[in-house]
Amino acid sequence: MFDTMKKEMYAHLTGGIIPFWKNLRDDEYGGYYGLLSFDLKLDKSAIKGCILNSRILWFFSNAYMLIKDRSLLEEAKHAYDFLKKYCIDNINGGVYWALKYDGVIEDDTKHTYNQAFAIYALSSYFDASKNTEALKLAYELRKTIEEKCRDESGYLEAFTRDFHPAGNEKLSENGVEAGRTMNTLLHVFEAYTEYLRVIKENDICLDYCGIPEDEPEAVSRDIRFILDIFSGKIYNPSLSRQEVFFDKDYNSLIDLHSYGHDIETSWLTDRGLDILDDGKYKGLISPITMDLAENVYETAYVNHSLLNENEAGVDDTTRIWWVQAEAVLGFANAAKKALREGNSAEAFKFADAAEDIWKYIKKNMIDQRTGKEWYSQVDKDGLPKNLPIVEPWKCPYHNGRMCINILHDL
């Protein structure tokens, strides 16, 4: 399945995305440059988002593990060195939100979402490099989340430098400010499952890293806690979707269906269930993830691509780079899942959708001017919007991950 798409994605990854991001490396101040305008003007003095740096670290680590090109491991080390030196607060713990181009702190907000991406990246970097310091940092950041960013009901959002509660405008949109978000919960889950995979596969290293021997059991327990929140509070069975923004008591704040997040959740959660390896939870959650994928297919797969979102019954027809990448992964995962369950008609339906959206991406989202990075957004007619090619949220994480996971056969 997907043989032609795999060949094309390998060529796109190695001939487009990887060279583009290698060229964004800052050898003077460390890390990677944080802003390339739509007009392809590089701003070497732009801020460097810590999320962007973590995602670049994750990308080069996983690209190395796929391709085994030592230059990719060197790029990952470059990102790791910047994260370790500048992004981590060695006094209060945690990862900052953003830095100036030279590593000076720009925004010292500590956001749970940001801590999660650092854990995600550090876990993968350890897997690629066997640098035990990276795994220890991931462990310390997980402790930070559990001790400072969680209450009895779930995970909170934004904090000051010394972890006092702060406003959550960074992870809120559409005119609301949320006390809890689906997005933060999803990426804590993503980080914890990658971390769990790595420590399960490298349990001999736990003692060397100063990590307790019961850590796999502890993180598995926290993943089950997240899955309980997902199934009981986030997922709306009557609408076959996730709610997005909540107050601290999980009351939904807005009528919003985020198509991109739902299709991303469908495959990310299935992957996490495989890593957790708990039959009870797989039986409970797997039907939900298929429900999410089915509903997105029926409501948002339009004109060979995926719509952005629907607020109060009105679709946003913008096509966003990361939404298209996640749609390919989500539909490919649903196809594999349906095939395993013996439902060939559903499998071919979802497989056709994944390949169709990849064709759309090649035609409309890939920017041939840049060495094949992607436009951030295009309108309903496929025309690119005047938005940066690189900025704190625009990174090789979604499109790079699409290629890597398809090539790994999910």
Q: How far apart are CA 311 and CA 280, in angstroms?
A: 34
Taking the domains of the chain in order of start, what are their residue ranges?
Answer: 3-407
**Do strands 319-320 and 366-367 pair parallel, antiparallel, or not at all (unpaired)?**
unpaired
At residue 90, the pLDDT reads: 96
Q: How far apart are CA 168 and CA 173, in angstroms?
A: 10
pTM of the full predicted structure?
0.97
The single residue listed with the structure tokens 């953003």 is 98
At residue 26, the pLDDT reads: 98
User: Do residues 395 and 52 lie in contact, with contact meaning Cβ atoms separated by under 8 Å?
Assistant: yes
Structure-token pair, residue 173? 């949109």
Q: How far apart are CA 296 and CA 257, in angstroms?
A: 9
Q: Which residues lie across from 302 on neighbouring strands?
A: 305
**Counting beta carbons within 10 angstroms of the beta carbon of residue 254, is it exposed (0 to 12), middle (13 to 18) or buried (19 or more)?**
middle
Angle of CA points 315, 321, 327, to nearest 5°: 70
Q: How far apart are CA 360 and CA 261, in angstroms?
A: 19
User: Do residues 385 and 375 lie in contact, with contact meaning Cβ atoms separated by under 8 Å?
Assistant: yes
User: Do residues 410 and 332 lie in contact, with contact meaning Cβ atoms separated by under 8 Å?
Assistant: yes
At residue 209, the pLDDT reads: 84
At residue 203, the pLDDT reads: 80
CATH topology assigned to domain 3-407: Glycosyltransferase (1.50.10)
Structure-token pair, residue 39? 């007009």
**Do strands 256-258 and 301-302 pair parallel, antiparallel, or not at all (unpaired)?**
unpaired
Phi/psi at 154 (nearest 5 deg)? 155, -150
> Closest by alpha carbon to 295, among 247, 241, 244?
241
At residue 206, the pLDDT reads: 84
For 307, which DSSP code?
A: -
At residue 110, the pLDDT reads: 98
* pLDDT less than 50: residues of the chain: none
SS3 state at 28: coil
pLDDT (tens digit per residue) in 107-144: 999 999 999 999 999 999 999 999 999 999 999 999 99
At residue 33, the pLDDT reads: 98
